Structure 1
Amino acid sequence: MSANGSGEPETKKAKCNVPEGVLLGIGNPLLDISATVDEAFLKKYELDANNQILAEDKHKPMFQELVDNYKVDYIPGGATQNTIRVASWINNVPKMASFFGCIAKDNFGDILKTKMEEFGVHVDYRYDEKEPTGTCAVAVTGKDRSLVANLAAANCYKKDHLVQPKNWAMVEKAAIFYCAGFHLTVAPDAMLALAEHAKENNKIFSMNLSAPFLSQFFKDPQMKVLPYCDYVFGNETEAAVFAKEQNFGTEDLKEIALKIAALPKENDKRPCVAIITQGEKATLVAQGGKVHEFPVIPIKDDDVVDTNGAGDAFVGGFLAQLAQDKSLEECIRCAHFAANYIIQRNGITMEGTCSYE
Structure 2
Amino acid sequence: MRTTAVEQQSGRVTVVGSLNMDLVIRAPRLPSAGETLAGRSFDHVPGGKGGNQAVAAARLGAQVAMIGCVGDDDNGKQLVAGLHRDGIDCNGVATDAALPTGVAMIVVDDAGQNAIVIVAGSNGALMPAAIAEQEAAIAQADVLVCQLEVPGETVLAAMQKAHALGRTVVFNPAPVTGPLSREWLESSDFVIPNEIEASVLSGVAVDSPESARRAAKVLQQGGARNVIITLGKRGVLVLAEGEGEEAGKHYLPAEVEAIDTTAAGDTFVGGFCAALAAKRPLDEAVRFGQAAAALSVTRAGAQTSIPYLHEITFQG
What's the TM-score, normalizing by structure 2?
Answer: 0.85
What is the aligned length? Answer: 296
User: Structure 2 regions of 5+ residues with no counterpart?
Assistant: 1-6
Q: Structure 1 pair 347/281, CA: closer, same or farther in 2 (3 Å)?
A: same
CA–CA distance in structure 1, aligned partners of residues 191 and 27 of structure 2? 33
Length-normalised TM-score, structure 1: 0.76
Which of 291, 297, 309 in structure 1 is aligned with 2:254?
297
The structure 1 residue matched to 2:46, chosen from 76, 90, 102, is: 76
Counterpart check, 1:131 vs 2:99: yes
Identity rate, percent: 22
Structure 2 CA distance, aligned partners of 1:340 and 1:16? Answer: 20
**Over residues 1-25 of structure 1, what are the superposed CA-to-partner deviations in whole Å (9 max), with x where a residue is unaligned?**
xxxxxxxxxxxxxx63524xx2111
Structure 1 counterpart of 2:33: 43
219, 227, 232: which one pairs with 1:274? 227
Secondary structure of the structure 2 residue equivalent to 1:23:
strand
Partner in structure 1 of residue 66 of structure 2: 99
- Residues 70 and 133 of structure 1, relative CA distance in 2, 3 Å threshold: farther
Aligned partner of 1:77: which letter? G
Residues 226-237 of structure 1 correspond to what in structure 2 (within 5 A)? 226-237=185-196
Structure in which a larger fraction of residues adopt helix: 1
**Secondary structure at 2:87's aligned position in 1?**
coil
**What is the match of residue 175 of structure 1?**
142
2:194 corresponds to 1:238 = no
Structure 1 residues without counterparts, runs of 5 or longer? 1-14, 47-64, 266-271
Are the counterparts in 2 of residues 209 and 215 from structure 1 also a CA contact under 8 Å?
no
Residue 42 to residue 98, structure 1, CA distance change in 2 (3 Å) = farther
8 Å CA contact 1:191, 1:225 repeated in 2: no
Residue type at the aligned position of 2:93: Y
CA gap of 1:245–1:73, structure 2 versus 1, over 3 A, is: same
Alpha-carbon offset, residue 200 of structure 1: 2.0
Out of 228, 236, 241, which is 1:283 matched to?
Answer: 236
Q: Distance in 1 between matches of 2:35 and 2:198?
A: 26
**Deviation for aligned residue 1:223:** 4.4
Deviation of 1:325 after TM superposition, in Å, equals 0.4
Shift of 1:355: 1.6
Contact persistence 1:198–1:205 (CA under 8 A): yes
How far apart in 2 are the matches of 1:354 and 1:238? 32
2:290 pairs with 1:336: yes
Per the TM alignment, residue 331 of structure 1 is displaced from its structure 2 partner at its CA by 0.4
Separation of aligned partners in 2, 1:119 and 1:152: 24
Letter paired with 1:198: A
